[in-house]
């Protein structure tokens, strides 16, 4: 690890465990953002790095590379975003570097295959900084205004289980379920921002989200529903033991998103009903076994 990364790690660790006030911690975090090299390096363009250093894709995220420094800075930026609640100066400072952070987050998106080993460790920093930014209305507005950001966020959620074979060896099923839930919850926040969304299909935000979801599905409505519903639910029902809690969250999240989409194809609805039947049967069996054991 470079000296700059090591110093930043040490400072963040001390601040997060420090007994001083939250205000003092925020002031120190602001100083880290303004002075530490990894944050400064976020302003570098990854594509220019490739050209100027004659580097070929896919790149290796070894600690000695400039790509590793930016990758690490995305993780640190997420920490700052999590600390930014109710502190306008810190929040403004973190959002000010959003264009640079997004450029790197997009570069690390698995769709582009820019990284030699696509695993959870390479995926999470870019994903988590977007999720953290979207926790606030201002952050969600920035994402909506950033070219391709909404499309790539929806692409990651819809196609997550296509990307999973490349990252599943580095992650447990529970970690992948949590990632799926975090992505879905983030997308649902965009839906919740729409006033009277059920009766307002012509709202510009509804049209924008639907268009980007269709773009992520190659313009195919049937594929969009298959990705959002069928493949997702089948993934859960094939797991043993059946992850009831995670599946329930998935149903709730997905239902909220599809409420703004065009009418679903019949076979997709059938898959959804079958998934509900499976979950209901498993729940009843669990209750029966539990009551028998208690009785």
Query: In three state form, how does the secondary structure of the chain look?
Result: CCHHHHHHHHHHHHHHHCCCCHHHHHHHHHHHHHHCHHHHHCCCCHHHHHHHCCCCCCECCCCCCHHHHHHHHHHHHHHHHHHCCCCHHHHHHHHHCHHHHHHHHHHCCHHHCCECCCCHHHHHHHHHHHHHHCCCHHHHHHHHHCCCHHHHHHHHHHCHHHHHHHHHHHCCHHHHHHHHHHHHHHHHHHHHCCCCHHHCCCCHHHHHHHHHHHHHCCCCHHHHHHHHHHHHHHHHHCCCCCCHHHHHHHHHHHHHHHCCCCCCCHHHHHHHHHHHHHHHHHHHHHHHHHHHHHC
Quick one: which of 6, 7, 109 has its CA closest to 63?
Answer: 6
Residues 249-290 have pLDDT tens digits of 888 888 888 888 877 666 666 666 666 666 656 555 544 444
Place of tokens 């696509």: 118
Q: What rounded mean pLDDT belongs to the chain?
A: 79
How many Å apart are CA 258 and CA 179, to the nearest integer?
A: 19
CA dist., res. 144 & res. 251, Å (int): 25
> Residue 151 — pLDDT band, cuts 50, 70, 90?
very high
The structure tokens 């089948």 sit at: 234
224: pLDDT strictly greater than 80: yes
Q: Render pLDDT for 175-193 as a digit per residue (tens, 0 to 9).
A: 888 999 999 999 999 999 9
Collect all residues with Cβ–Cβ distance below 8 Å to 261 and sequence separation of at least 6: 210, 213, 224, 225, 228
Q: What percent of the chain has pLDDT over 90?
A: 26
Task: Give the domain ranges of the chain.
Answer: 1-146, 151-295
pLDDT tens digits, one per residue of 73-121: 888 888 778 777 777 777 888 888 899 999 999 999 999 999 887 678 8
Q: At which residue do the structure tokens 């499976």 appear? A: 278
pLDDT band at 294 (very low <50, low <70, confident <90, very high): very low
Give the pLDDT confidence score for residue 215 in this predicted structure.
95
| 44-86 pLDDT, tens digit each | 899 888 888 888 899 888 777 778 888 888 888 887 787 777 7
Between 149 and 117, the more confident residue is 149
Instruction: Provide the pLDDT for residue 1.
Output: 38
- Asked if residues 74 and 102 have their Cβ atoms less than 8 Å apart, the reply is no
**Residue 119 is encoded by which pair of tokens?**
């695993």
Categorize the per-residue pLDDT at 291 as very low, low, confident or very high, splitting at 50, 70 and 90: very low
How does pLDDT run across 6-26, given as a tens digit for each residue? 444 555 555 555 546 667 767
The pTM of the full predicted model, rounded to 2 decimals, is: 0.82
Q: What is the pLDDT of residues 225-256, one digit of tens each?
A: 889 888 888 888 777 787 888 888 888 888 88
């Amino acid at each position: 690890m470079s000296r700059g990364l090591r110093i930043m790690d040490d400072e963040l660790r001390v601040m997060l465990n420090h007994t001083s006030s939250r205000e003092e911690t925020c002031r120190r975090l602001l100083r880290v953002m303004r002075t530490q090299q990894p944050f400064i390096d976020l302003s570098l363009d990854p594509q220019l790095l490739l050209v100027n250093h004659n580097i070929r894709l896919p790149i290796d995220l070894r600690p000695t590379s400039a790509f590793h420094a930016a990758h690490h800075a995305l993780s640190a930026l997420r920490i700052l975003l999590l600390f930014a609640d109710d502190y306008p100066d810190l929040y403004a400072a973190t959002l000010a570097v959003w264009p640079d952070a997004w450029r790197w987050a997009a570069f690390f998106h698995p769709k582009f295959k820019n990284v030699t080993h696509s695993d959870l460790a390479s995926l999470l920093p870019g994903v988590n900084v977007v999720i953290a930014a979207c926790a606030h209305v201002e952050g969600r507005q920035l994402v909506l205004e950033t070219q391709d950001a909404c499309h790539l966020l929806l692409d990651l959620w819809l196609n997550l289980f296509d990307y999973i074979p490349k990252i599943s060896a580095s992650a447990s099923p529970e970690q992948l379920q949590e990632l799926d839930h975090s992505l879905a919850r983030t997308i649902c926040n965009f839906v919740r921002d729409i006033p009277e969304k059920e009766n307002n299909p012509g709202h510009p935000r509804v049209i924008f989200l639907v268009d980007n979801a269709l773009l992520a599905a190659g313009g195919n409505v049937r594929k969009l529903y298959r990705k959002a519903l069928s493949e997702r639910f089948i993934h859960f029902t094939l797991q043993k033991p059946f992850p009831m809690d995670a599946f329930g969250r998935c149903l709730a999240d997905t239902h909220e998103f599809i409420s703004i989409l065009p009418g679903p194809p019949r076979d997709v609805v059938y898959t959804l009903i079958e998934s509900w039947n499976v979950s209901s049967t498993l729940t009843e069996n669990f209750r029966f076994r539990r009551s028998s054991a208690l009785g």
